[in-house]
Chain A
């Protein structure tokens, strides 16, 4: 064991040293200011995406609850696939995850039917005191939506994008605050028409006369309530849940809630659902097209059992069909397994810090530096959503896409031979923002964005001595916003500069 500890310590200390070196070489962000106005910050993005994707729809029908005994919702899957095991439990009434956000949600759909069209409005009251107000929903969906379009609603900036086939998202910055609108089963035109009818009566509402057939108001209230629906959220206080882990660390969870308290229509936003029966009980299933992730809802014995599993439908169906009550001992034993107690075995000696070093490779002084001007390939998905990449003589090493509504924008990686990975959400300041795109397995991308006119060219120097020059270009529908990107094989970026037309360096990483 001590050998293993020593190996972990050695690796951890080496990794920590590298992190400190990297931090030392990074420009320190400006000291924070209280104002959150201006360009979209990652915190807002995170909060917006959380609300967008997960949603927190409060359910206030507790008066119909058959019982408040937590044990009545403690269920386990009776039959588990080989190698799977329960790793933790949570009782109903216990909220895991982040503190509830005091937002306001309005849900339209068909009662207890996730297969029907649905619309969800999300809104944050701008009149709330600053210390009680969550980050504005804003246009955070830019990071996850495709084919983004900007348009006007009653003279206000609005925009819509596609999350997946049949699932759209819009945002409009009304005089009463920002309203985010998600839909399932509606066309872009239908949703845009609905967005145009938003009115305010103690929160946003859609005009009743404009509602498509089959949609009715199901819920309006505090989206941050701890009585949140368990749909798609095993951390919710509205359900009891068990987390499972597979032999290769695969994830699964089983949530159990009272059917009267589960807003099943909300499930419409989590996939394309199909109805079927399990041993005669109504059930629904959905699965990500390109993944082995499957979700099954079983309505049985006045309860809704929701199983989310990395596995196939047959396995998930068998698991959820095998649900049985857990004994108190089982429930507690599983729950306590997450924090085992064992005799300590550590000295607690703090390692020595080491000297800082540059995060990028240095250029061999013997290498002759040569400038090479290259062009960006720009694909206009919409006038507000473009993809760009650069083909170098050595090949193409990934790309990014830019989506923009008003003065909010998002950079997304778009893959490519060596691309992929997550976008670096470093704040992109005006007039200059410059960042690298981490996460790609074989490539390193450098992106510059600016709202100013001084920057002319992005210049990226590679270890081979070539300085790639790419001129900044404008967003079609936003001519004052300009950008450029270069991606090189990982480990071959020596430095990157933004230069003006006279060749003066304006920013460097």
Chain B
């Protein structure tokens, strides 16, 4: 059995067991989920849910050229849905007088300030940035995951960097 390496999108895929697939790709997917959610609990849950669906449909998904791309896309989509839910929930909680602002730790090497800024980007920009930095994907590979043109990915990354640069500078100044 050849196990897919955790190095971005696989150039080719050799059929393997689901457990092998999970063991060899889950950490990278978890990294992606973490930066998109901002906490390990939700990240692990996203990953668990994505892989649970993959397990259920492994006969089909395991035959894909790159099952890890499918899992990534599930995580990306669900993270955006989750973020919207949380935004609405946060508004409601504010109304309840129990603000649950995302708090960050300044000296954390994982730089939660940076990822919090990433999560505030428009969804496609946020996804592109996460795939670019965390999963080390090229523009071509990101375009495949996001099912869009490479030019669109470049636009997303360019826009995202511009916004991040401005926001992070404001954060640093404040």
Contact = CB atoms under 8 A, between A and B. Distances in A.
Which secondary structure dominates where chain B touches chain A?
helix
B133 A289 contact: no
Contacts of B151: 344
Contacts of B49: 32, 43
Interface residues of A, number: 86
Interface string B134-153: 10111110100000001101
Contact of A490 (B26, B102, B105, B138): B105
A144 interface: yes
Nearest to A286: B95
Interface string A6-27: 0111011111101111111010
Contacts of B40: 26, 424, 426, 438
A420 B81 CA distance: 26
A181 B33 CA distance: 32
Interface in B105-154: 105-111, 114-115, 118, 122, 124, 129, 132-134, 136-140, 142, 150-151, 153-154
B96 to A, nearest CB: 5
Contacts of A15: 35, 109-111, 114-115, 133
B53 to A, nearest CB: 9
Contact of B97 (A26, A291, A342): A291
Interface stretch (A115-123, A185-193, A346-354): A346-354
* B: interface residue count bin: 35 or more
B45 A43 contact: yes
* SS class, residues of chain A in contact with chain B: loop
A19 B34 contact: yes
B39 A438 contact: yes
B30 A144 contact: no
A195 B124 CA distance: 44
Given A290-B99, A343-B158, 5 more contacts: A16-B133, A42-B42, A232-B92, A288-B99, A351-B133
30 contacts: A8-B168, A15-B114, A18-B109, A18-B111, A19-B34, A22-B110, A23-B28, A26-B40, A31-B19, A31-B23, A32-B52, A33-B55, A42-B41, A53-B89, A144-B98, A167-B96, A232-B91, A235-B84, A270-B95, A270-B96, A293-B95, A344-B155, A345-B154, A348-B138, A348-B150, A422-B103, A438-B39, A438-B105, A441-B103, A490-B107
